[in-house]
Amino acid sequence: MLNKSKIYWYCQFGGWFFFVLIELITYINALGYSHGLLINGLTNWVAGILLTHIYRLIVIKANWLNLPLQKLIPRGIFMIILVSIPLSILNVILDFYTIPSGNIEQFDLGKEFLSRINFAILPIIFFNLSKYVFLWAIVYHFFVYWEKLLKTETDKFELQAVLKETQYNNLKTQLNPHFLFNSLNGIRTLVDLDPENAKEAITKLSGLLRGSLKMEKNKTVALQEEMNTVNDYLAIEKIRFDKRLNIFLEISPETVKSNLPPMMIQTLVENGIKHGISNLKNGGTIFIKSFVKNQNTIIQITNSGQYNPNMATIGLGIENTKERLRILFDDKACFSIKNLDDKNVLTEITLPL
Domains and CATH numbers, the chain: 4-156 (no CATH), 194-352 (3.30.565.10)
Q: CA-CA distance, 314 to 296, in Å (whole number)?
A: 26
Q: Residue 59, Cβ neighbours under 10 Å: how many?
A: 20
Q: What is the pLDDT of residue 293?
A: 94
Which are the contacts of 268, defined by CB distance < 8 A and separation ≥ 6?
A: 301, 317, 321, 347, 349
pLDDT band at 288 (very low <50, low <70, confident <90, very high): very high
Q: Taking residues 247-261, what's their average pLDDT? A: 94
Q: Is the pLDDT of residue 6 over 90?
A: no
> pTM higher than 0.75, yes or no?
no
- Strand (E) or helix (H) holding 298: strand 296-304
Residue 348 CB-half CA count within 13 A: 13
Q: Is the pLDDT of residue 110 over 70?
A: no
Q: Residue 260 pairs with which residues in a beta bridge? A: 221
Q: What is the pLDDT of residue 248?
A: 96
pLDDT band at 112 (very low <50, low <70, confident <90, very high): very low
Q: CA-CA distance, 153 to 147, in Å (whole number)?
A: 10
Q: Is the pLDDT of residue 141 over 90?
A: no
Percentage of the chain lying above the pLDDT 90 cut: 27
pLDDT band at 353 (very low <50, low <70, confident <90, very high): confident
Cα 115 to chain center, whole Å? 64
Q: What is the pLDDT of residue 163?
A: 55
**Lowest-confidence pick of 9-13, 244-248, 298-302, 348-352:** 9-13
Q: What is the pLDDT of residue 111?
A: 41
What pLDDT, in 10s, does the model give residues 194-214? 788 788 888 888 877 776 666
Angle, alpha carbons 224-339-306 (nearest 5°): 95
Q: Is the pLDDT of residue 286 over 60?
A: yes
Q: Taking residues 221-236, what's their average pLDDT? A: 89
Percentage of the chain lying above the pLDDT 70 cut: 82
Q: What is the pLDDT of residue 30?
A: 75
pLDDT band at 172 (very low <50, low <70, confident <90, very high): low
pLDDT band at 107 (very low <50, low <70, confident <90, very high): very low
Q: Is the pLDDT of residue 175 over 90?
A: no
Crossing angle (nearest 10°) for helices 4-31 and 122-193: 150
What pLDDT, in 10s, does the model give residues 179-194? 677 678 777 877 877 7
Higher-confidence position of 300 and 28? 300
Looking at every residue in the chain, the average pLDDT score rounds to 81
Q: What is the pLDDT of residue 114?
A: 40
